Structures are given as C-alpha cells and as structure tokens.
Amino acid sequence: MMKYEHLFFDLDHTLWDFEKNSVATLKTLYSEIGLVNKGIPDFDDFNVVYHQINDKLWDRFRKGFMSREELRWKRMWQTLIHYKISSEKLAREMSERYLEILPTQTHVFPNCVEMLSYCASKNYQLHLITNGFELTQMQKLKNASLDKFFIHLITSEKAMSMKPQKEIFEYALNEAGAKIESSLMIGDALDIDILGAMQVGIDQVYFNPYRIPHKGNPTYEIAGLEEMYQIV
C-alpha cells in the first residue's frame, strides 16, 4: 500500500525555475525597452537591483501590506527610482511586458519532467498549490508542457487565501477529495509551503537545492527532484 495518494506541488522555485526564467525575461525586457539608453547601463546590475526589490515587495504583499496590482508596477517603479528614473508610465509598461514575457519561458529544474512522469505512472494524483497569479501560472504550465501532469491547480486567487495560511491547504484537500494523512506537500519555501502544510498536518518534502542550513523540521528534505523516487 502506498502511504500517499495525493501529491501537492509548489510551482515557482520548485518545478519551474523561476530564477532562470525571470532573468531571461528581464534580459528581453532590458533590450526591448532600450533601458541601456534610458540610464541603466549594465544589465547584470539591473537584474540584481530588480530581484532585491521584488523580494522585498513580495514579502510585503504576502503579509497583506500591498495589493497584487501595486506589487506588479511598484517593483518596476522602485527599480527605476534606484537609477534616478522617475516615470510611472515606463514602470507600468515594463510591468505589463514582464508579465507577458515571463510565462512564455520554459526552464524547469533538472529531472522535473522525469519525476512528474514517474509519479503519474505510479498513479499518484498530482496537484499544484501556488501563491502565484492564476492566469500566469496556467500559461507557465502550458508553455513548459507541465499542465498534462496536474489535476487541480490551486491558486491563492481561487482559494482566497495564501500559503502558509491553513485555508488554502484545506481548500486544496477539499478540491482534490484528499485526506490529510495520504497527502504530501512538496515545496521550496520553509516558511510558506512547509510550515503551512505542517500546520494542517500534511507531511512535507522540503526542496532545498542549495542545501541552505535551517532550523525547520520537515518530514523529508531533498536537494534534487530525482530524490523524490526514494519517497514516493
């Protein structure tokens, strides 16, 4: 008898290589908008600045201090401000293009497709629980050819709750018709995926590709997706 029946995956930074895809998107944006002529001479520098600001604002968004809409354009606006460019119009244009280009990128983590195929072949029910935007996540899945693996895509928009809040996990269990004890959550964020699942009693797999030391206590920990074969 298999211990688990339902596998709930996080998407960004767990299956879909957000970092790589975001850098590729910014690179396209950088040349498309001609930022080199607008006062941002170096792409690598721009890339670092943007990601620092984005991390900071995502944290504020997660804590409920900022709306999605604000997050979307203000991360560009604050990046421009860093370079002494004050243009809300340009920030909004960049934000729009970023969101259009990002989900067309297709980098996934090594062994992602093999691992998902393996799980599907073993008759596990695969789902996603993501704090990302509904439409964006759907596009990412389609473009990276991952959509075929998943039965339910649970987003915070649909569940009206965000990881680590327990409501989104309860919503996911309910949607999937899954029991707590036969469910497993796989994600890269200790304080979001792992903590959230732990709080509702779902076993967790912490995906920690850079082997960052931590004080968490997940049920399992892996550094590569192929290590899932030892768990399921």
Using the rule CB under 5 A, is 13 a contact of Mg ion? yes
Q: Which stretch binds Mg ion (CB under 5 A): 9-17, 54-62, 134-142, 210-218?
A: 9-17
Shortest Å distance, C-beta 35 to Mg ion = 28
194-197 CB contacts, 8 Å cutoff, 24+ apart: 194/218, 195/164, 196/163, 196/164, 196/165, 196/166, 196/168, 196/169, 197/8, 197/169
CA distances 87 to 91, 94, 110, Å, are 6, 11, 39
Q: Judged by CB, which is closer to Mg ion: 91, or 168?
A: 168
Query: By rule CB under 5 A, what string of x and - marks binding of each residue 164-203 to Mg ion?
Result: ------------------------x---------------
Q: Judged by CB, which is closer to Mg ion: 17, or 188?
A: 188
Shortest Å distance, C-beta 39 to Mg ion = 33
For residue 217, with 0-12 CB atoms within 10 Å meaning exposed, 13-18 middle and 19 or more buried, which class applies? exposed
The residue from 4, 9, 10, 94 that contacts Mg ion (CB under 5 A) is 10
Kindly state the tokens that stand for 165. Answer: 């809040």
The residue number whose beta carbon is nearest to Mg ion equals 13
The residue from 12, 112, 126, 139 that contacts Mg ion (CB under 5 A) is 12
Q: Which positions from 146 through 165 interact with Mg ion, judged by CB under 5 A? A: none
Q: Where are the beta strands (DSSP E) in the chain?
A: 6-9, 125-130, 152-155, 183-187, 203-207, 220-222
Kindly state the tokens that stand for 46. Answer: 């721009």
Shortest Å distance, C-beta 188 to Mg ion = 4
Paired residues of 50 in beta bridges: none
Q: Which residues contact Mg ion (rule: CB under 5 A)?
A: 10, 12-13, 188
